[in-house]
Amino acid sequence: MGCGELLVKLACRMRKLLPGQILELRALDSGAVEDIPAWCALTTHSLVSARHPIYLIQRREK
């Protein structure tokens, strides 16, 4: 799965979480190293941990 498709699926998963909940994401695409932090910054979700291939993302409060 390419990062574009990954980010679309990630956005859908994040919408299902309650504010403050954390999603553990396993992203094998090498582009995820740059794309996941950038996506978090754009969407204001918190990147709690980024140890490729595992990312912990906390849903923003509102």
pLDDT tens-digit series, residues 18-40: 999 999 999 998 999 999 999 99
Q: How many domains, in total, are found in the chain?
A: 1
pLDDT at 28: 92
Which strands form 22-26's sheet, in the order they lie side by side? 22-26, 54-58, 46-51
Query: Cβ(47)–Cβ(40) under 8 Å?
Result: yes
Determine the pLDDT at residue 2: 65
State the residue range of the domain holding 23: 3-58
CATH number at residue 30: 3.30.110.40
pLDDT tens across 35-58, in order? 999 999 999 999 999 999 999 999
Q: What is the pLDDT of residues 1-12, one digit of tens each?
A: 666 888 999 999
